[in-house]
Amino acid sequence: MRALLPIAEVTRSTRPLAVLNEDDKTVVRLRLEEAAARIPEGTPVPPGKGRPPGANHGLNPRLTLQPVKGYDRELEAVAAALAAMDRLRPAAGSPFEETVAALGRRPGDYSSKIDVGLQPEMTAVEAARRIHRHLLGTLEANVEGARADLDSEFLHDLRVATRRTRSALTQIKGVLPPAPLNDFKERFRWLGQITGPTRDLDVFLLGFEGYRARVPEAMQGDLEPYRAFLERRQREEQQLLAKRLASPHFRKLLKDWRAFLETPQPTDPEAPNARRPAKAVADERIWKMFRRVIKEGRAITDDSPHEAIHELRKSGKKLRYLMEFFQDLYPAGDLQPLIKAIKALLDNLGEFQDLEVHAHKIREDAEAMAAEGGAGADTLMAMGALVDDLLERQARVRGELAARFADFDAAPNRDAYKALFKPAKEGKSA
């Protein structure tokens, strides 16, 4: 869900003009417009993709011709006369297009999708730095919106960029110097921790109506005190998050990380993959992670603990991220079906974990509400019924895992991975 936010404010002054004939009749109407645009204060602007909020930027004056019925020849004559003037030229685009361009923006200039622009001739260290800079830009673009809680997607995209950054720090191995990398791993882990509670509450509130509909109709109204409890908790966590995202500690993390990514580093003997071709490193990392997913998935049985499923999900996400990071280096027609296949498996694994987490959270919240005296017996019973429903759904999702993994482990999918990623020196098959 996205909030409808203003991109620009335009102040416009209009002056009507008229062309008269010899009888003093108006034969052509003109409108002269002068305008200035600005980005409203508080509007999130992607770094490097817009002017600072608040400052006015002049737009080109516009002279618009308006016909008068019965005077088409006069309209054509005035248009021809204006076209012959050196200082006038036809408007290049609509007022909207001109306004957005004047403010340094363009429609669609923000996306949370990974679009790095890697080139086959790049070294692994060049590719890694470019990947990290792209992720940092996405993270920075969402900070102000997440602080202001303009909508829940700002925090979502900030967290995804953080999670991808942490994955890239650990999975693109032997490319960047390990000493500073270990420091940044801890600092981005902190960022993941401080953003988690608010995002969890956002997700629960966004899905509350769906959860409410899953208990018997007679109990649905009894869940309203629980909604109020969640909303209060969300406001509390959001206020705490806003302070942390405004803190010197967080600002220093972003500043230090950007400085590191934009400062050339000398060759480090502990980064042996730095000068290797990016594709060779990507092949090795993706192939190794694919084999781990296959190994972990094949080891899961009906008796496996939930932790084994969670580990498979983590490995699957690392595999997906690696393919997305380096997607420019592979034919899209070959790579996209593989990304689609791992996403299908991850959908099952993610739903399984979400149901478990939410069931556990509802139990904890029921205890907290009971201790506060904010939940009567009817509300606690409705929450218990919701927990039962979530756990039943989790069991069904668990039952679907074998078929989902079998699809991923099918021979055509394995063969496609081998053809695309298996290093030539790798002799062992998956």
pLDDT tens, 48-97?
777 888 888 999 999 999 999 999 999 999 999 998 998 888 888 888 98
Length, in residues, of the chain:
430
| DSSP one-letter code for 65 | E
Single-letter amino acid, residue 407: D
pLDDT tens, 243-275?
999 999 999 999 999 999 998 877 778 889 999
Domain edge (last residue) among 244, 272, 300? 272
Number of domains in the chain: 3
Q: CA-CA distance, 312 to 349, in Å (whole number)?
A: 8
Cα–Cα distances in Å, from 7 out to 12, 44, 131, 159?
16, 9, 28, 24
Cα–Cα distances in Å, from 292 out to 114, 241, 317, 430?
24, 36, 12, 9
Examine the pLDDT at 278 and tell me if it is beyond 80.
yes
Q: Are residues 355 and 415 in the same domain?
A: yes
Tokens of 193: 């921790």
pLDDT-derived band at 161, boundaries 50, 70, 90: very high
Tokens of 81: 């006369």
Q: Are residues 126 and 161 in the same domain?
A: yes
Average pLDDT over every residue of 151-179: 95
pLDDT at position 109 is 82
pLDDT tens, 288-312?
999 999 999 999 999 999 999 999 9
Burial of 141 (0-12, 13-18, 19+ CB in 10 A): buried
Examine the pLDDT at 429 and tell me if it is beyond 50.
no
Q: Are residues 220 and 315 in the same domain?
A: no
For residue 164, give its domain range.
Answer: 111-272
The helix (H) or strand (E) run that includes residue 243 is helix 224-245
Do residues 26 and 68 touch, judged by C-beta distance below 8 A?
yes
Average pLDDT over every residue of 146-154: 95
pLDDT at position 324 is 97
- % of residues, the chain, pLDDT over 90: 80
Examine the pLDDT at 428 and tell me if it is beyond 60.
no
pLDDT at position 296 is 97
Q: CA-CA distance, 329 to 277, in Å (whole number)?
A: 11
Examine the pLDDT at 368 and tell me if it is beyond 90.
yes
Strand, helix or coil for residue 33? strand
Closest listed residue to residue 346, CA positions, set 390, 414, 302, 408:
408
Domain membership flag for residue 281: no
Q: Are residues 82 and 126 in the same domain?
A: no
pLDDT at position 198 is 97
Q: CA-CA distance, 296 to 291, in Å (whole number)?
A: 9
Closest listed residue to residue 173, CA positions, set 329, 325, 291, 331:
325
Q: Are residues 414 and 351 in the same domain?
A: yes
Closest listed residue to residue 145, CA positions, set 132, 133, 157, 162:
157
pLDDT tens, 183-204?
999 999 999 999 999 999 999 9
Q: Are residues 182 and 253 in the same domain?
A: yes
Do residues 316 and 339 touch, judged by C-beta distance below 8 A?
no
pLDDT-derived band at 426, boundaries 50, 70, 90: low
CATH number at residue 184: 1.40.20.10
Domain membership flag for residue 168: yes
Examine the pLDDT at 241 and tell me if it is beyond 70.
yes
What contacts 385, CB < 8 A, 6 or more positions away? 215, 216, 219
Q: Are residues 61 and 43 in the same domain?
A: yes
List helix spans (H) across 263-410. 278-299, 306-325, 332-372, 377-408
Tokens of 311: 């580990």
Domain membership flag for residue 413: yes
Domain membership flag for residue 31: yes
Do residues 345 and 413 touch, judged by C-beta distance below 8 A?
no
Examine the pLDDT at 427 and tell me if it is beyond 70.
no
Q: Are residues 192 and 321 in the same domain?
A: no
Average pLDDT over every residue of 402-425: 94
Domain membership flag for residue 420: yes
DSSP string, 258-272: HHHHHS-----TT-T
Examine the pLDDT at 430 and tell me if it is beyond 60.
no
Burial of 80 (0-12, 13-18, 19+ CB in 10 A): exposed
HEC-encoded secondary structure of 94-135: CHHHHHHHHCCCCCCCCCCCCCCCCCCCCEHHHHHHHHHHHH
Q: Are residues 384 and 299 in the same domain?
A: yes
Domain membership flag for residue 282: no
Domain edge (last residue) among 226, 245, 272? 272
Examine the pLDDT at 141 and tell me if it is beyond 60.
yes
Q: Are residues 164 and 181 in the same domain?
A: yes
Domain membership flag for residue 173: yes
pLDDT-derived band at 366, boundaries 50, 70, 90: very high
Q: CA-CA distance, 164 to 188, in Å (whole number)?
A: 10
Examine the pLDDT at 118 and tell me if it is beyond 60.
yes
Mean predicted lDDT score pLDDT of the chain: 93
Q: Are residues 137 and 231 in the same domain?
A: yes
pLDDT tens, 319-347?
999 999 999 999 999 999 999 999 999 99
Q: Are residues 227 and 346 in the same domain?
A: no
Domain edge (last residue) among 237, 272, 307? 272
Domain membership flag for residue 18: yes
Greater model confidence, 25 or 111 = 25
